[in-house]
Structures are given as structure tokens and as C-alpha cells.
Amino acid sequence: MGKLSDYNLDRLIGDFGCRVLVETGTGRGEALAFAAKSGFSQIFSIESDHKKALAAALAHVRDHRITVINAKITRGLAEALAEMDPAQPALFWLNAPALRKDAPPGRLGLEADLRFLAGARDLSRDIFLLNDVRLYMDGPFEAGPADPDSLPPAALRSLDFFDEILEASHTLTVLPQSTGLLSAFPKS
């Protein structure tokens, strides 16, 4: 496991009622194309690179469920939340690199995103999936260790904030498959 397509999205939608997907980092749109084949009622994908965002938007121009937001994640999440029903559970596919230019000083971008979301909505029914966990902690992971140049500074290299923010409401699991996968599923 390491890609969104490793998951049975329609099953997650059925089991958890999460009919909204939010993806941070569109990339070449592989996860977006996969998600588009599922039963989500709304899909947001946030990408800072203009060409990638445009390509993804054009690829899905006829699919009115899909909004590609060409923005840094910090702003893109706020835009997506403004369009989302707070009562509707969502699946967050967190897929931007660990080293991000929009990270606040002294904090991982990923941590800032999660804290922003926790302050902006009730996360207790949402699902969080993160790959490339090897960037944030030592393995062993199936694909081996990450390139040292891609790692965050040692003082920030941790996913403890996931526990802090979600442990009361979610079951957190780290799997060694591929580059490492973290899942946080609602307990209830």
C-alpha cells in the first residue's frame, strides 16, 4: 500500500459515509483519476504548480464533483472547507512533500495542515491517509529508507502530532508496506 488506488474507495465511502475527498498535492493526477471512478459526491484536489493544476482541471472539466484548487495547501484547504458541508465526513489524502515552502517556521507543513483542520471542523468522522511515512520516522519500511535530502530537519521529524490531535477519536496504524503508510480511521 502506498497509493490511493490501493484502497477500495467505494468500500470506505460505504463503511464510513465519507462522500467527500480532499487531496493535498494533485501531482500528475493519478489519485484524482482513480477517485473520479468512485462514488464521492465532492472531490477537492489542491496543487500549487499551475501547469499540473491546469492539466488536472482540464482532464476532469466535465466532472462537476471535482474542484482542482491551484493554491498552496494552507490556502487551498480553507477554500475546500468553505465549499464542504461540515456535517459530511471526508477522506483526506495527504500527499504533498514533507519539505514544503509554505510550512510555517519551525513546524512541518503537514502538522500545520492537521492543526488547521482540527481548528476548522470536527474531524472525528473523517479519514486520514498518508503515504511516505518513512520521511517522518525510521522504518523498517518495505521500500527502504528515504533519501536523506528529502527528510525534514531532525527536530521536526515526527508524526506525534497525529496522535496528539486524533488519538481520542481515531485508530492510528502505521504499516511498513511500500514507503510506509499511516491511516487514521474513526473509532466509532
Stretch that binds ligand SAM, among 10-18, 95-103, 110-118, 135-143 (CB under 6 A): 95-103
Amino acid residing at 151: L
Give 42 or 95: the residue with its C-beta nearer to ligand SAM.
95
Count Cα neighbours of 54 within 13 Å in the Cβ-side half-sphere.
Answer: 3
Cβ-based neighbours of 38, under 8 Å, separated by 6 or more: 9, 10, 13
List 45's β-bridge partners, or say none: 23, 68
Count Cα neighbours of 178 within 13 Å in the Cβ-side half-sphere.
Answer: 13
Give 1 or 169: the residue with its C-beta nearer to ligand SAM.
1
Query: Which residues, numbered 7-66, are part of the site for ligand SAM (CB under 6 A)?
Result: 23, 25-27, 30-31, 46-49, 52
Q: Does 111 bind ligand SAM (CB under 6 A)?
A: no
Q: Rounded CA gap, 114 and 143, in Å?
A: 26
Q: How far is the CB of 138 from ligand SAM (least distance, A)?
A: 21
* Residues engaged in binding ligand SAM (CB under 6 A): 4, 23, 25-27, 30-31, 46-49, 52, 72-73, 95-97, 100, 102
